[in-house]
Amino acid sequence: MALMTNAKPKKFQFKKRYIAFAIISAEMLALPFAIPAAAQIIDRVSFSIPQQVASVNIDAEPGKTQLVITSNAGFTVATEGAIGDFDVRVQPSGSINGTRYGDNAQAPGPLQGCGVATTTTPQIIYNATQKTALRKGEILSQSVIVEINYDPALKPKFVVKTLDNSKGLAQAGACTVIDS
């Protein structure tokens, strides 16, 4: 009497192994050719993140505006609707009502500056050449405060734009910065 089993013949099992080995071998042989091709693609394709800037206006008192700014690129602060002197100071870190800001930030440009707007059309009073973030972290920890002092009789509007979006804006004239 012959025993019936469900075992597969050994020939078939060996064929599966040979096929798997052949596929893996072919992939390994193709890999040295694929790496240079991938490097050429990466070299030719420009991966870039769009420039972004976000700002929140904190009206402290007449003649003084504070802007909380975070950006992934350089930016400008422009004034419009007022003629006069604008004293600009950057505070890379500190606290707002007990909440810390700027712990992962850097000064994106000069810490102080001054601009004279000679027309009511938009004029740049501050140029930041780099992003505000120095390290990864929450948005407020990557933010700086740009404080702008001006004649309390003026009612200026401040516009914050990325460097790419600031092309075509006029630069305000320079004035003397007075340390206080």
Higher pLDDT residue, 144 or 38?
144
Mean pLDDT of 159-164: 93
Max alpha carbon distance in the chain (Å)? 113
CA angle 54, 95, 71 (to 5 degrees): 20
Report whether pLDDT(116) > 70: yes
**In this predicted structure, what is the pLDDT of residue 149?**
95
Distances (CA, A) of 86 to 71, 113, 125, 144, 173: 22, 8, 7, 18, 10
* Alpha-carbon gap, residue 160 to 173, rounded angstroms: 18
- Which residues on adjacent β-strands are paired with residue 65? 59, 148
* Alpha-carbon gap, residue 109 to 74, rounded angstroms: 8
* Beta strand 99-101 pairing with 144-149: unpaired
Percentage, residues of the chain above pLDDT 70: 70
**In this predicted structure, what is the pLDDT of residue 151?**
94
**In this predicted structure, what is the pLDDT of residue 97?**
85
pTM exceeding the 0.75 threshold for the entire prediction: no
Query: Confidence class of residue 175 from pLDDT cuts 50, 70 and 90?
Result: confident
**In this predicted structure, what is the pLDDT of residue 96?**
86
pLDDT tens profile 144-159 = 999 999 999 999 999 9
pLDDT tens profile 44-80 = 555 678 889 999 998 678 999 999 999 999 999 999 9
Mean pLDDT of 10-36: 60
**In this predicted structure, what is the pLDDT of residue 179?**
56
Q: Which of 97, 89, 84 is nearest to 69 (CA)?
A: 89
Averaged pLDDT of the chain: 83
